[in-house]
Amino acid sequence: MSAAPATTLFVARHGQSEWNHQGRITGQLDIGLSPEGRQQGEAIARCLADEPLDAIVTSALQRTIATAQPTASAKGLPIATLAALNEIHLGVLQGRLRDERDPEAQALWAAWQADMWGHRVPGGERFDEFAARVEGALASILREHRGRRVLVVGHRATNRVLLGILLGWPRERWPQIRLGNKRFYRIAPGTPAQVTTYWVGGEKAGASRAGFVM
C-alpha cells in the first residue's frame, strides 16, 4: 500500500499590526496592520511567487486576512478563515501596554511569560486550553488539505503551537519559540520535518535558508 500523500505547510505570522508598533498587547482584539505590516504581506507574496500553492488558511482576525491577501490575489486563491487559529485570549491585558507605562500590566505580562502553561491571565485562556484548540485546527487543515501545499497565516502564540507540533518539539519548549513578523517557514514532511526559513523584512528580504531560524 502506498503512503498517504504528505502536506507541505507555509506558516507565517501576520505582518506588524498597529498595536505591535505601539507596544500594546493585542490578544484577540481585531486590530489592523500598520503600513510596515502591509509591506510584509506583500513581501510574503513575492517570496511565494514561484511556489505552487493550493490553499490559504488564516485566523478570523483581520490582521492575518490582510497579510494573506496579496498572496491570495497573486495566486487567484480564496482565503479560508478558522477562528480556532485566533491568537490566545489575554483577558484583562488586551489593549494595554506591557512596559513601565503600565506597571500593573507589565507585572501581569511578566508573570504569564514566566509560566505560560501554568498561569492564566485574569479573564483569558490558559495556554493548554489555547493549544488544544490550535491543535484541533491543525488536524482539520491536514485532513482537509492532505497532499497539498497550504499557506497558514496565524499569530505569535498560534504559530508557536503549530510549529511545536510540526517540528515534533516537546510541549515545554513551545513557549520559547520566538516568532516575529519578518520570517516565515516552509515545513515539508519528513523525519525530521524539513524546514526552510524565508525573510520578509530587512536586508535579507526575499532570501531563504534551509533550517529553522528564530
- In the prediction, which pLDDT does 4 show? 56
Residue 209 lies in a domain: no
Catalytic site includes residue 87: yes
Is 21 annotated as catalytic?
Answer: no
Number of domains in the chain: 1
On whether residue 119 sits in a domain, the answer given is yes
Contact 80, 175 (CB under 8 A): no
Q: How confident is the model at residue 203 (pLDDT cuts 50, 70, 90)?
A: low
pLDDT at 205 over 80: no
Q: Which domain holds residue 143?
A: 8-182
Which CATH number fits the domain that encloses residue 158?
3.40.50.1240
Q: Read off the C-alpha cell for 146.
A: 492532505
With both helix axes pointing from N to C terminus, report the angle between 62-75 and 35-47 in degrees, rounded to the nearest 10.
40
Domain-embedded: residue 189: no
Determine which one of 42, 87, 145, 155 is catalytic: 87
- Residues 25-47: what's their mean pLDDT? 95
What the block records as the C-alpha cell of 2 is 502506498
In a domain, 149, yes or no: yes
Residue 197 lies in a domain: no
Residue 68: inside a domain: yes
Catalytic residue among 14, 89, 145, 155: 14
Question: Has residue 192 been placed in a domain?
Answer: no
Beta carbons of 202 and 43 less than 8 angstroms apart = no
pLDDT at residue 193 tops 60? yes
The three cell numbers of residue 37 are: 505590516
Query: Mean pLDDT throughout 71-83?
Result: 98
Q: What is the mean pLDDT of residues 96-108?
A: 94
Least confident of 35-44, 57-66, 161-170, 191-200: 191-200
* pLDDT tens figures, 168-187: 999 999 988 888 888 999 99
CB atoms within 10 A of CB 213: 13
69-91 average pLDDT score: 98
What pLDDT digit, counting tens, does each position of 111-130 carry? Answer: 999 999 989 999 999 999 99
If you search the block for the grid coordinates 510540526, which residue do you land on? 166
